[in-house]
Structure 1
Amino acid sequence: MRYRLIAALAASAAFAVPASAAQLEVIHWWTSKGESAAVSEFAKAFDNDGQGDKWVDSAIALGETARATVMQRVLGGDPPGAAQFNPGRQYEELISGGKLLDLTDVATEGKWDEIIRPKAIGSACLVDGHWWCVPVNIHSNYWAWYSKPAFEKAGLPEPKSMADFIAAAPKLKESGVIPFAIGGDGNGWQIQLLFQDMVTEALGIAKRDEMYTKKSAEIAGGDEMKGVFTQLRALKQFTDDGYANRNWNDTTNLVITNKAALQVMGDWARGEFAAAGMTGVKDFGCMIGLNEDKPVVSTDGDIIVFFKQNDPQVEAAQKRLAALLISPKVQVAFNNAKGSMPVRGDVDMSTADPCMQKALKAVEDPAKIVTATNRFITENTNQRINELVAQFFADDSITPESATAKFAEIIGSSD
């Protein structure tokens, strides 16, 4: 009788799990404290979707490494169920090679073309009339985060622009804090983020876009770009010797713990402040667009792609996850933890902190939206710029003139 009972329980357990339930491995690079809290919102929602599905987490630190791992897996015939990418040209060969699952039916049912804003976010996934990915957030690179106590300690007002900050930096240094926090890990991507923000400030949105879209070596080699490299060199004197291999979230932690005054970093840094229990009202401040008088946001962000599988049950689970990622409740939970904005314009973000409120206001104005650099350049060009700005920042013998000439060469020959 005991064995019959066990068999009956086993059978009932089997019937309790829908036949279409599946385990999906998701590769991503959300590894910091704030990012882990955010991605767990996706995992919890999927695991509790009532279908018996299971999120299998594969977190790999650093985007370049994660993307390389994904591509190796795909080439080896062992693709994951899904993977994180950034909007842009990083995954175009996966589309042309027929490796991605077409999500058009899910997008049509969910009316993605109506709910996603701004339209540039959706266009990253809508290629030739088909939806190939799910945009899950709007990230902007154009932020500076600062410690209010650090400025108070130095007897300084809170900065409203990078010019204000540079003027205050010597006094901040005298007060015993690191004025400018930055990190050099991952081939210098943090330095390039700073550099690209400075490029937009120096050239303006229209001229910056012209440089990248027309591959203009003339603009890239002009006096304005020389000024960017000159200012980048000037900022170096206000950082610390430990910057070289430091990752971005450890850099953010210097500001959180009031050891450093200011960091230029994307709005994912806001997730680290939130994870530390800080509100953005009294603990830390933020500058949008690096200049409060000229607020801008970039339409960067994260997208999730799904790889073709041979199992129809797995494909069904992939489409359930795709729909779930963009659902209102999940969008709010994920983005509040991540520090980013939801891609939906119809969700209630009234509880967001003052920094996100600035971004939500700016993103509604097309004139304040900066197209993500990844939309213009390939991964190869991106790496060449990374290497240039990292080497320039590290080596004081490289002049702004020679760095500008090299940058012009990279842009002029970009694909």
Structure 2
Amino acid sequence: MHCPADDSTTLPLRCPAPAPRGRAPWRGCLAGIALMAHAAFAVPAHAGADGVSVLHWWVSGGERASMDAIRDFTTGRGIAWSEFSTPGSGTARYTDVLAARVRAGRIPTAAQMIGYDIHAWARRGLLDDLDDIAAREEWDEVVPDEIQRLSKWQGRWVAAPFNAHSTNWLWLNKHVADRLGITRPPDTWADLIALLDRARAAGVPPIAIGHEAWEHTLLFESVAAGVGGAAFYRRAFVDLDPSALTDAVATTIFDRMRQLSGYLEPGYMQRRWDEATDRVARGRALLQVQGFWVDGELRVRGLYAGVDYQCWRFPDTQGMVLFNSDQFIFFRRPAGERAAQLRFASALMDRELQTSVNLRTGAAPARVDVRKALFNTCGRQAIAELRGANMRRTLLGSIGMGNAHPSSVKIAIYEVVTRHLQRRIDTPAAVAALRQAITPHR
């Protein structure tokens, strides 16, 4: 992922003081931003009365195709479009750029956001109220409750969700798998280990992964869900109840993570997530444990689901959907710009747009009433399983993507997981640190 040039790079990207360990690096500066933002409405934000300015982090090949779909649908409705992008997937780098823009008065119409970071901005009174359009278009009726929990602040809509990625997936190069005689999804942990052993014995790196903590935590959350089940996952990581992390369950989770660390492709700490995807796409590694955005990356490389690659659920998580929903938050803007802003919110929630953009991302639409016939086999499976998990209450926020709990907890868990994966702490220390990471937040 390169960092595209834009005028935000001339601004200071960090808040004046460092945040305490375990807190989002930008959270402390939001309070100071709030007063500036209220006074900044007179400063141009590259939009105007008939347009929208959008900040996002979608810069990889598959992501760019998806943002193009949003842009084309928006301009097709007669709304002028300007955009600024920086890589970061909701991390400190991305949020620093957004915070710098707000401080300088260059407030976008809308900004891509995920998980509890939405609430961090809403808490400061910076976001517009979308309740009127949400009621008129019946968003409550078509968006799963767990996603609504993130889209709303104090019961009112402040964000428009347009997809629901799932993170507990195995992405396999089908040609490599076929050559190794791997033709069925691993149902259990033992099945997965046997599959990885077969790849290693054949000289094929079993698991491709990148260097970032969020990637390591996606692996962790799939292992945790498989070990403890949906009720455990909700209690431990959504409700943040440390008593759920019994020694037996937590030790098994980290022991399995330690076991998987032996199957990671060498050099992973020098690799980005999309470079790991490329390793799988080229047959240089067997599989990647990643979110559904990988489907978009493989498709943009000209590969076909069921022909060139397989999408299988992580073993023992069948029936569970660990989700990450991409959303746009909408900043309070002058009255003259609000009409275009609301038209953009309406466009994002349109069934046609959610079909078009998610045909490219590979994700399930955030709306549960979108027809799945146009999607590939992986997409149809994702949509069906999202609907089923929504009904069974096994739709659960991703730890790694910040959809399960506030950012401060996410960052604390990142540190525990990535240090353990790199063998910098042992399993007993990791168990204690994980319990400590969630305990203060009850």
| From 41, 54, 68, the counterpart of 2:81 | 54
| From 62, 65, 69, the counterpart of 1:34 | 62
* Distance in 2, Cα, partners of 1:44 & 1:137: 17
Q: Give 1:177's aligned residue.
A: 204
Moved more, 352-361 or 382-391: 352-361
Query: What is the deviation of 1:270?
Result: 0.7
Q: Give 2:322's aligned residue.
A: 298
* Distance in 2, Cα, partners of 1:20 & 1:63: 28
* Distance in 2, Cα, partners of 1:49 & 1:101: 21
| From 372, 375, 382, the counterpart of 2:410 | 382
Q: Give 1:246's aligned residue.
A: 271
* Distance in 1, Cα, partners of 2:355 & 2:405: 31
| From 153, 158, 168, the counterpart of 1:132 | 158
| TM-score w.r.t. length of structure 2 | 0.82
In the alignment, residue 128 of structure 1 is paired with which amino acid? Answer: Q
In the alignment, residue 21 of structure 1 is paired with which amino acid? Answer: D
Query: What is the deviation of 1:258?
Result: 0.9
* Structure 1 residues 280 and 230: CA distance shift in structure 2, 3 A: same
SS in 1 for 2:441: coil
SS in 1 for 2:353: helix
SS in 1 for 2:431: helix
Moved more, 215-224 or 350-359: 215-224
* Matched-pair contact (CA < 8 Å) for 1:148–1:284: yes
Q: Give 2:440's aligned residue.
A: 413
- Asked whether 1:308 is paired with 2:332, we answer yes
* Structure 1 residues 411 and 123: CA distance shift in structure 2, 3 A: closer
* Distance in 1, Cα, partners of 2:411 & 2:123: 22
* Structure 1 residues 360 and 368: CA distance shift in structure 2, 3 A: farther
* Structure 1 residues 392 and 299: CA distance shift in structure 2, 3 A: closer
Asked which structure has the greater CA Rg, the reply is: 1
Query: What is the deviation of 1:293?
Result: 7.8
| From 418, 428, 436, the counterpart of 1:401 | 428
In the alignment, residue 275 of structure 1 is paired with which amino acid? Answer: V
Query: What is the deviation of 1:148?
Result: 1.4
| From 132, 149, 158, the counterpart of 1:123 | 149
* Structure 1 residues 90 and 175: CA distance shift in structure 2, 3 A: same
| From 195, 212, 215, the counterpart of 2:237 | 212
| From 116, 122, 131, the counterpart of 1:95 | 122
Query: What is the deviation of 1:214?
Result: 4.9
State the percentage of identical aligned residues: 26
In the alignment, residue 305 of structure 1 is paired with which amino acid? Answer: I
Q: Give 1:355's aligned residue.
A: 378
* Structure 1 residues 207 and 388: CA distance shift in structure 2, 3 A: same
Name structure 1 gaps, 5 residues minimum: 1-18
- Asked whether 1:286 is paired with 2:314, we answer no
* Distance in 1, Cα, partners of 2:68 & 2:247: 46
Q: Give 1:63's aligned residue.
A: 90
* Matched-pair contact (CA < 8 Å) for 2:127–2:329: yes
* Distance in 2, Cα, partners of 1:213 & 1:111: 27
- Asked whether 1:364 is paired with 2:384, we answer no
Give the root-mean-square deviation of aligned CA atoms. 2.1
Count residues with an aligned counterpart. 388
Q: Give 1:16's aligned residue.
A: none
* Matched-pair contact (CA < 8 Å) for 2:114–2:403: no
Query: What is the deviation of 1:180?
Result: 0.9
* Matched-pair contact (CA < 8 Å) for 1:184–1:390: no
Deviation digits for residues 295-331 of structure 1 (CA, Å, limit 9, x no counterpart): 3212421110011123x33222111111111112111
* Distance in 1, Cα, partners of 2:110 & 2:208: 34
SS in 2 for 1:56: strand
In the alignment, residue 183 of structure 1 is paired with which amino acid? Answer: G
SS in 1 for 2:165: coil
Query: What is the deviation of 1:59?
Result: 3.5
SS in 1 for 2:286: strand
Query: What is the deviation of 1:54?
Result: 1.9
* Structure 1 residues 324 and 259: CA distance shift in structure 2, 3 A: same
* Matched-pair contact (CA < 8 Å) for 2:227–2:316: no
In the alignment, residue 232 of structure 1 is paired with which amino acid? Answer: M
In the alignment, residue 353 of structure 2 is paired with which amino acid? Answer: V
In the alignment, residue 25 of structure 1 is paired with which amino acid? Answer: S
Q: Give 1:143's aligned residue.
A: 169
Deviation digits for residues 237-267 of structure 1 (CA, Å, limit 9, x no counterpart): 1112211132211111111111110111011
Q: Give 1:10's aligned residue.
A: none
* Matched-pair contact (CA < 8 Å) for 2:325–2:366: no
Q: Give 1:323's aligned residue.
A: 346
* Matched-pair contact (CA < 8 Å) for 2:58–2:85: no
* Distance in 1, Cα, partners of 2:59 & 2:171: 20
Query: What is the deviation of 1:154?
Result: 2.4
* Distance in 2, Cα, partners of 1:96 & 1:315: 21
* Structure 1 residues 26 and 245: CA distance shift in structure 2, 3 A: farther
Deviation digits for residues 122-155 of structure 1 (CA, Å, limit 9, x no counterpart): 3322333421110111111111111111122223
* Structure 1 residues 329 and 121: CA distance shift in structure 2, 3 A: same
Query: What is the deviation of 1:40?
Result: 0.6
* Distance in 2, Cα, partners of 1:213 & 1:189: 17
Moved more, 348-357 or 132-141: 348-357
Query: What is the deviation of 1:284?
Result: 0.8
- Asked whether 1:113 is paired with 2:150, we answer no
Query: What is the deviation of 1:230?
Result: 0.8
* Distance in 1, Cα, partners of 2:437 & 2:205: 33
* Matched-pair contact (CA < 8 Å) for 1:29–1:84: yes
* Structure 1 residues 157 and 292: CA distance shift in structure 2, 3 A: farther
* Matched-pair contact (CA < 8 Å) for 2:386–2:395: no
Query: What is the deviation of 1:363?
Result: 1.9
In the alignment, residue 70 of structure 1 is paired with which amino acid? Answer: L
* Distance in 1, Cα, partners of 2:419 & 2:330: 36
SS in 1 for 2:59: coil
* Matched-pair contact (CA < 8 Å) for 1:341–1:360: yes
* Distance in 2, Cα, partners of 1:265 & 1:214: 24
- Asked whether 1:153 is paired with 2:182, we answer no
* Distance in 2, Cα, partners of 1:270 & 1:327: 22
